[in-house]
Amino acid sequence: MSENIQIESALRNRIDSGKKALVVYITGGLGDDWIQTMHSVIDAGADVVEIGIPFSDPVMDGPIIQMANDSSIESGATPVTILSDLRDESPASPLAVMTYYNLAYRMGHERFASSLASAGISGCILPDLPLEELDIWSESAANSKIETILLAAPTTPDERLLQICARSTGFVYAVGLLGVTGMRSELADSATEIASRLKNVTSKPVLVGVGIGSPEQAVEACKVSDGVIVGSAIVQEMMNGSSPEEVGELVSTFRDALDKNC
């Protein structure tokens, strides 16, 4: 098996060339062609793809990703089927998994981490696993060379931001607003504020996610951040029944806006 492509280095390649990084979230197991959608998203310029593994109780997610979750689970997707769908792929960009801690806990930390690695996944985001509970997982993740991306929120105090930046690997996920995932009519002020607080204290890539629903909002967030994570807007397109190519075209509008305006 080839060595996993590291998320941080892929993002740095983009950022060091003077551009902004684009991470795209898609729901694993959503539709028969979700693997093609993943490739299409990468071809359209995603530097990293986050694969959502659906969980029954996604407290950090808004209605769009909740519905996508339910739909994927109903069609029979499990962590095992999603990882096995990925096993024979050789995506041109690195992958991260976004899911909730109980799926890792249930499978067992070591086994979950090694399953990710053998499916070619480089990173993992567990939004309900804060610093205080991180130790057991991060040890298993490190053993399997999985990067653990931590979230920093607008409510996080300064000294805690330092700890989060110290322990986050891959990049630091700046939660752009007080709320769950989903599109909003405009970019919250808190998005640039948290990005700027993070940029002041870390040299790791800082990407803003949650509430980035349009290319314009992505451009605005990137005035401060190194890039953005786009989730619900893409998943909504998948839920509409769009083809992999059409989802790729949507991703291109984000890529183009970032390349032209940042």
Partner 1 sequence: MSLKNPNEKGRFGPFGGRYIPETLVPACHELEESFVEAWADDSFREELDSLLFDYAGRPSPVTECLNLSDELNCRLLLKREDLNHTGSHKINNVLGQALLAKRMGKKRLVAETGAGQHGVATATAAALLNLECCVYMGEVDVKRQELNVFRMKLLGAEVRSVESGSRTLKDAVNDAMRDWVATVEESYYCLGSVMGPHPYPWMVRTFHEVIGTEARMQCEEILGTTPDVVCACVGGGSNAIGIFSGFVDSDAELIGVEPAGGAAIGRGVPGVVHGMESFLMQDEFGQVLEAESISAGLDYPGVGPEHSYLSSTGRARYESVTDDEVIEAFQLLSRTEGLIPALEPAHALAWISRERKYLTGKTVLLNLSGRGDKDVGQMMEILNV
Nearer to partner 1, 7 or 210 (CB): 210
Distance between CA 73 and CA 53 in Å, rounded?
Answer: 9
Residue 208: CB minimum distance to partner 1, A: 14
Considering the candidates 3, 16, 33, 61, report the single residue annotated as catalytic. Answer: 61
CA dist 42 and 112 (Å) reads: 25
Sheet holding 123-125, edge to edge: 147-148, 123-125, 95-98, 48-52, 21-27, 227-230, 206-209, 172-175, 150-152
| Min dist. Cβ of residue 83 to partner 1 (A) | 11
> For residue 90, what are the contacts with CB-CB under 8 A and spacing of at least 6?
2, 120
**β-strand 147-148 against 150-152: which pairing, if any?**
unpaired
* Selected catalytic residue, list 3, 8, 43, 50: 50
Task: Report whether 228 contacts 218 (CB < 8 A).
Answer: yes
Is position 50 annotated as part of the catalytic site?
yes
Min. distance of Cβ 75 from partner 1 in angstroms? 14
For the bound state, the minimum distance from the C-beta of residue 67 to partner 1, rounded and expressed in Å, comes to 8
Tell me which residues touch partner 1 (CB under 8 A): 55-60, 62-63, 66, 70, 73, 78-80, 101-107, 127-133, 150-157, 160, 164, 175, 178-180
Shortest distance (Å) from residue 72 CB to partner 1: 11
Q: Where are the alpha helices (DSSP H) in the chain?
A: 7-16, 34-43, 63-74, 79-87, 101-107, 109-118, 135-143, 158-167, 189-201, 215-221, 232-239, 244-261
Element (H, E) at 124: strand 123-125
Smaller CB distance to partner 1: residue 91 or 211? 211
Give yes or no for a contact between 230 and 192, defined as CB atoms under 8 angstroms apart. Answer: no
Active site residue 61: yes
Quick one: 78 or 253, whose CB is closer to partner 1? 78
Q: Closest CB to partner 1 among 152 and 238?
A: 152
Please report which helix (H) or strand (E) contains residue 48, including its range.
strand 48-52
Residue among 152 and 258 whose Cβ is closer to partner 1: 152
Active-site residues: which are they?
A: 50, 61
